[in-house]
Structure 1
Amino acid sequence: MSSLPKYLTKRKQGFYAVMEIPKALRPAFDMKPRFLQSLETRDQKLAERRLPIIVTRWKDQIEKAKGNEGKPTGILWEVMQWRKNIEETPDGAAREVVETLAYEWVEKLAEQKGVPAAQEATGILFYDIQPLQPHIEPWAATITHLDAKTQSLQKLAVTDLCAYFKTNAKIDKTTVKEYLSYLKTDKNLSDKTITIRLSSMRSFIRYMDEQFHTDHLPLFTIKALTRTTTAKTTKQRAWIPFAAQDVSKLYEAALSKRKPDYALADLIAFGAYTGCRIEELAQLKAEHFTESSFKVEDSKTAAGIREVPLHPALSDLVKRLTEQSEGGFLLEGSDEGSFGKRSDALGKRFGKLKTSLGFGPQHVFHSIRKTVVSQLEQAGVNENTTADIVGHDKPRITYGLYSSGASLKQKAEALSQVTYGGSLGNPA
């Protein structure tokens, strides 16, 4: 069985969140040595998704007990101390002295941390620019009427926002769009998740606008999610499928490295013959497989929960991995990935591999999924059957709402038409 992520433990009743309380702070928690809370599930994946919300709340409680809640740290703490000294010194000669000393400190900061850090400090000290991080806790006090889970999620969204912008001076129409694009491409968040986050951001920005008489709220709108590009440029930036021979090339390249990357090769083979998303593959366990199929029990969409026929080319691979897994996950992964994603490390290794073979940013692991869909379409497979295989919503309402989907036999016949050259799926 794979090791559990930090703060997660398993008991007979299921999974629990657990966090040690520092000894010095235990008197503030009735001398409890640790926090412990049931996650009310026996499913590890579901437990990992619930875990961050509870841990965030506990960390907030510990920070409050330390008396550090909302206090800036590092350089920002020093900047705020200088700003406080300037504001509390009466106008006149004394204030000029303090401002002179502050300028000298900024000059040293430029030497030590660079000009951008010094410019940011100057704006905060002398031009009434507001750092965002110190205002997270005062804003959070305005949403205490919400349930604990919602508070934690909103605070997470705002904390990420403040880490990106740092001050309100950097917020404008262009940077807001860039930030939302960053959430979509770098953070890999869906439009739905970003829209939810926008609600939290607007709450925080509204608070800042009211406190400091600024006018940034109109920039944080749903319209900011809309790409202002032409259909041509959108298509140019979209992920595109690999050719079948290129998938074989990737597979063989993983095995021909100085130190063969068998785990990556296995991942590529699975993707090539199933059309599954990378995290769906990383979550597969031996218990999900039968001789003829496997079940995807956790996916990013409801349509993604499905039974997939086992392509004949994967039979030996599944047998080998099942014997090696000892009841755990079939594919190598890490429980330390971002947001609990096991596929992070493998995904990065795939990125390096495809780049080394000359593939650019339009080719990603998801492109293999597109390769499978392309082969099914070119083989004349019904679109609804393809949707059932790869876990897409049905294109039309009748089949989407009322049909139980294609039979396993229909899906197996369709998937058998997916083929590749070389040794893909059958290593020597």
Structure 2
Amino acid sequence: MSKLPPYLEKPWNVYHATLKVPKDVQSFIGRKKFYKSLETDSVGEANIRKLPVIAEWKTQIKVARAAQKDGQNLSVDEQVAYYKGEIERNFKGYEADGLMLVHDILDEKYLRNHNQQDMTVIPARTDTTDAEKKAAYTILNRVSGDWTATHERVDEFIAQAQYTPQTADECRTNLRLFCDRFAVFEVISEEQVEAWILELLQGLQLRTVKKKIGFVRTYWNYCKKRRYTTANPSAVLTDSMYPKVQKTKATVTEVVKAKRKAFTVDDYHKLLSAKPDDHALCDLIRLAAYTGCRREEVCSMPLRNVLSDR
């Protein structure tokens, strides 16, 4: 029997994700082991579905350790994991009551000053910042499942996309930019994306920006299709986001100048003379020049494909 991949078990015909809880937080978390059905009999699909599950469990372990230390602040992600864990442990079957308790805790901690309430009004807190109030709303909506963090499914998406390593890195970089800019899917507006695009265009070509948005659109569609979010990318990521470019003589000339030009023979010799002692690099330059291969094609070429007659 072949060995199962890490964090997977298959007690019957369905794969389950599993993770042992460290001894130092077992009493806090209330169990010795995390265990969850992935609802698939495909090992490939299970390897993809386990990623966000394991990530959330590891965050809960981190939060449990932090909660045992006084005065340590938790991030939004860590607070979401903490409250989700508390509801799962202490309000099984009564999740609505647990969510109401989370609402009351966040309301009292960040939003309203319950110590100064009168018969009709609970005044807003003045000792918390707007960022803290916004974070409280985000935490509550993510714990309830109404909002989905944009970064939650990035690893899962890239794993199933079967990109080449280079494309996977490019995708991850662009999605990180998107996630840093927009925390949750459900509150993103077309106007906000349009403003982001205009900022990107300050230093990038339009086609480059469109490629970045292409990664975002594909990822968002994936999350929508899998029902990780109810937000519809088609309602936000539209063609009207991009600025209209008038085809004048000046703009056409600019586009032509921006296009990549072929290397000349002089350029080839300059490249070789720039690093004459780096024999490996010079060999790669010669190989690329005489074969027309791209960088990734040259670097991934196995020796068995290099024959003496070629």
Q: TM-score range by the shorter chain?
A: 0.3 to 0.5
TM-score normalised by length of structure 2: 0.45
Indicate the structure whose relative CO is greater, using CA pairs within 8 Å and at least 6 residues apart. Answer: 1
